[in-house]
Amino acid sequence: MEKVGILGPRGTHSEEAMIRLNEILSAQREIIVYTGIDEIFSAVEEKELDAGFVPVENSLEGSVNITLDILARSDSLTVSREFIWTVHNHLMANADVKKNDVKKIFSHAQPISQCRNFLRENFPKAEIVITASTARAAEIVAQSSIGDGYAAICSRRGGQMNGLNLIAEDVQDNTANRTRFFEIQRRKEIYMPRGDKILVVCQIDGSRAGVLYSVLKEFAFRHINMTRIESRPARTELGEYIFFFDLENNVERRTLNEAIGGVQRKSIWLRNLGTFPVISC
């Protein structure tokens, strides 16, 4: 059975998303939990895992920088699939705790931020406690007494794993709260197999005027749609950056190769991180 690594602990949105992806793919894959994104990358590189499942961007909170930084510097890994997961945050508590009983709410910092209006309107006097994960929040609430008035903002699976009941469903302020995950694997092909999207990363010489424009022109001239551009420090000198380009795979393979070749000639270095399908849920 194939093994895929996720960011733990169990009961988080990462696990819930991975379970759903396996269902969509009708895949029987063992889910292995890790405590850090860097550990997942290392386990894939060292062949302890067949694949890793890592967050790369949240529509409200922005990019997951460690994922981008490790991908940019790896010669052995590629992106094999993108999964876009709609985040559902729920307020859950022990069976006999009702909405009016809630005095203290536990969760990770991101869900707290994503549910700020809900909390302000419904629990203005409740104490907010930040935890290491939504799964840990559910554990704390499960171990509490009824009189404590504890509740957790967590995934449905995380709450159910700890015997919690639903107090309020979908408490996020923005219904468009979505997280992009990359499934990463060891590199098997250098250039474009079939897929919806291409991810290219390169470093350009920022001291040359107009160099970024000339890079972007390689895509625009060939009518290749760029859906996202992201910059990260190159970690060489202050003011030096690397760039990630998400490109639609909407033209002939030869045209894509020409565009990427043109960008490579204008770059200090370039890596094609994969051509892959995009799945939304």
- Which strands form 90-93's sheet, in the order they lie side by side? 127-130, 104-107, 150-154, 90-93, 165-168
Q: Which residues in 39-177 belong to E strands, given as ranges?
A: 51-58, 62-63, 77-86, 90-93, 104-107, 127-130, 150-154, 165-168
Helix (H, G, I), strand (E, B) or coil at 17: helix
Domains 1-87+177-188 and 191-276 share a fold: no
Give the pLDDT confidence of 137-160 residue by residue, as tens digits: 999 999 998 889 999 999 999 999
Identify the pLDDT of residue 117: 94
pLDDT band at 120 (very low <50, low <70, confident <90, very high): very high
CATH class of 1-87+177-188: alpha beta
Query: Which CATH code fits 90-168?
Result: 3.40.190.10
Summarised one tens digit per residue, pLDDT across range 173-225 is: 887 889 999 999 998 754 445 678 999 999 988 777 788 899 999 999 999 99
Architecture (CATH level 2) of domain 191-276: 2-Layer Sandwich (3.30)
Q: Which residues of 166-200 are buried (b: 16+ CB within 10 A; e: fewer)?
A: ebbeebbbeeebbbbbbbbbbbeeeebeebebbbb
Domain locations in the chain as residue ranges: 1-87+177-188, 90-168, 191-276
State the burial class of residue 241 (Cβ atoms within 10 Å of its Cβ: 0-12, 13-18, 19+).
middle
Could you report the per-residue pLDDT of 84-98, keeping only the tens digit for each? 999 899 999 998 899
